[in-house]
Amino acid sequence: MNIKLQSVRGTHDHLPETMYNFNNIISKAEKISSLYGFKPMATPIFEFSNIFKKTLGESSDIVTKEMYTFNDKGGEEITLRPEGTAGIVRAIISNGLSQNMPFKAFYHGPMFRYERPQKGRLRQFHQIGIELLGTTSEQADIEVIACGNNILKELNIKDTSNLEINSLGNISNRKRYIKKLTQYLDSFKDQLSIDSKKRLIKNPLRILDSKSEEDIEILKNAPKLIEYLDDESKNNFKVVLEGLDNLSITYNINHNLVRGLDYYNNITFEFVTDQLGAQSAIIAGGRYDNLMKQMGGPDIPGVGWAAGLERLSLLTKIKEMKKKIISIIPIGEKNHSICLKLAQELRNKNISIDMAYSGNLKKRLKNANKISSNFAVIIGDEEIKYNIAIIRNLETGIQEKITLKNIIQHIEKILI
């Protein structure tokens, strides 16, 4: 049987350079989010399927086309998580944390959606995200957006992104609007894209998010959702915008901005860039006041966002902070134990060590240069006889003899 020795379509092997970038983004995002009181949290990468079917909306693209769902050996229907919010809310309900409000969580990890792979969009992708539950205050929306804004600043990509914001209003607002939008779009039914024709029946609101040129042209004269907001939702939107103004966070109001998931209401927003082609959103989120109740928990509101690590990584390209490396080269089998002990003592002092075990001296030195070692420590029979080690500067080629007694102290000194 021939085995396909390649990754599955829509997945990537994350090699050391990519992982360094990922880890830097996660570290900086976690640092900034902690300044806002968000604490790290993790949920399983798979859940019972109803967690997502019940919350994302039966008509959403994720549920109808993109979920990785299977029956496990116990006959339970399981789904690999396509997004992070539903799992966080489920965990709060399951662990009886609904009394600990407000609840602030920061998370990161892999998500899974079966969709057409393209730049910045994969079938296994990774996200960071924050969720704030337990308050309907507009100040929570403002802080969540501000946190995302500051993370982009920390990553030095804020200048290449813009905040777009809209209000979806409450459920009754949207019902009135969807009725008017459907009436308008019905007269253009034959001109809509194939996807939008389907959405016109199942979820007309999603047509606003269409990237199809023919749909965009039709939508230019479509009714605006903001015209159907009640006074409470209008005031909510006004207060959030004033809060962003107060923090000098610039934004554009995008009347066609909607979320692809059914649980969102009122404020919805995206930080977008023109650096990634069609996949312009790098942070996307909004308010979801009905989600926990919809999942069978108490009536607790929430707001949050998620950001794609792959997309952020394409924009950041953080340079690896090169840590100084010492290559230790034992010459002769019987000298391995001495070199291993020296390596352990140096690692205990937080010094990176590469043990060069095999090949002749020339080959080992070549490999030390290949991995960017700064110095090589050479210990053979002759060195043991005179109780010394040879230290070679791999940048200059200069070498010196140091007594084994003083070797650790000397290495610490030259690495400063």
The highest-level CATH class for domain 325-414 is: alpha beta
Nearest Cα to 327, choosing from 360, 387, 370, 384? 370
pLDDT at 67: 86
**Cα 358–chain centre separation:** 40
Would you kindly state where each structural domain of the chain is located, as residue ranges?
16-170+230-316, 325-414
Other CB atoms within 10 A of residue 3 CB: 5
**Phi and psi at residue 266, to the nearest 5°:** 50, -125
Q: Quick: pLDDT tens for 196-214.
A: 888 888 788 888 878 788 8
Q: Quick: pLDDT tens for 241-297.
A: 999 999 999 999 998 888 766 678 899 999 999 888 766 899 999 999 989 998 889
Q: Quick: pLDDT tens for 98-153.
A: 888 999 999 999 999 987 766 657 889 999 999 999 999 999 999 999 999 999 99
Is 204 in contact with 175 (CB distance < 8 Å)? Answer: no
Rounded-to-integer distance, Cα 252 and Cα 226, Å: 14
Is 55 in contact with 293 (CB distance < 8 Å)? Answer: no
Q: Quick: pLDDT tens for 225-254.
A: 889 999 999 999 999 999 999 999 999 999
Fold of 16-170+230-316: BirA Bifunctional Protein; domain 2 (3.30.930)
Q: pTM of the prediction?
A: 0.84
- Per-residue burial over 29-44, b = 16 or more CB atoms within 10 Å of its CB, e = otherwise: bbebbeebebeebebe
Ordered DSSP codes for 198-242? HHHHH-GGGGGG---HHHHHHHTTSPPGGGG--HHHHHHHHHHHH
Contacts of 298 (CB under 8 A, 6+ apart): 98, 292
